[in-house]
Chain A
Amino acid sequence: MTQSPSARAAPGEATTQGNASATIVEPISVTAIDDLNFGKIAAAAPDGDGSVTIDPASNSASYSGSAKPACSASSCGTSPALFAVSGAKGRAYEITVPQSISVQPMRGAGSALTVSDLLPVSENRPERPYIGQLNTAGMDRVRVGGTLIVPGGTPAGSYRAEVPLVVSYN
């Protein structure tokens, strides 16, 4: 039996370096700063429904139906909810809010009211609701508006609800 020279060659050695890679992203966080405030409202007619809408882009309030502002324009104190968002620099993220929330009376009798059409708008990316964009410092602010439905015959009182907001990288 013969052997070729390569079969008897001294054992060879070889080396290389692979890599393991990962991208660690700073967690995204959100902090509530201001409440969504529909201000003081007068339900003008007992039998007619009305509504108040807060526009998160312009911060303005608009009234329809039986709902009227019970204050001067400067003293109503209407405002969209405001949240501060921080995370990885330059990353886009999704904003999730419920479609509607129930608003409970704080004092006195009365039924719960409904806030519908909750709309979140990012300061850094106002053209696309529900999408935010962290700036080069990893910061953004989100305003949330909505429409408060005021049924006819709603008793006077203060109403309050929590507005949940969830942010996540997309």
Chain B
Amino acid sequence: MLETVAAIGIMATAVAIGAQAAQMTAQQRRSEHERAVALQEAANAMERLSAAQWDEITQTHLAEMRLSDEAAALLPESSLAATVVDGRDGELATKRLAVTVAWRAGGAQRKIALTHWRFQNKEQP
């Protein structure tokens, strides 16, 4: 009787540990996928900003930027925020662009931020 109880106890422990490990792996995988999608979204936003005309890059224009439908569906409670700070580097006007994608994962708030500088080119828009 004692041996049977001990065997069942060991088996239950092994099953619990295995199930927990599998759950952690799945969560880790989901988290990695979400992070990769968030990074692509931030990079896409930055590409759009790098292609935009110099005069179009204003805080008003940036406030209209949104996540794609695919990313919004995948990332829970997600949002995209973009900011621009005007500056100067000697003779050149500069814009410091920052894009942040935030989402909730595993009860914690996660975010990815990219920063990019644009320098005014008089010849090209």
Partners in one complex: no
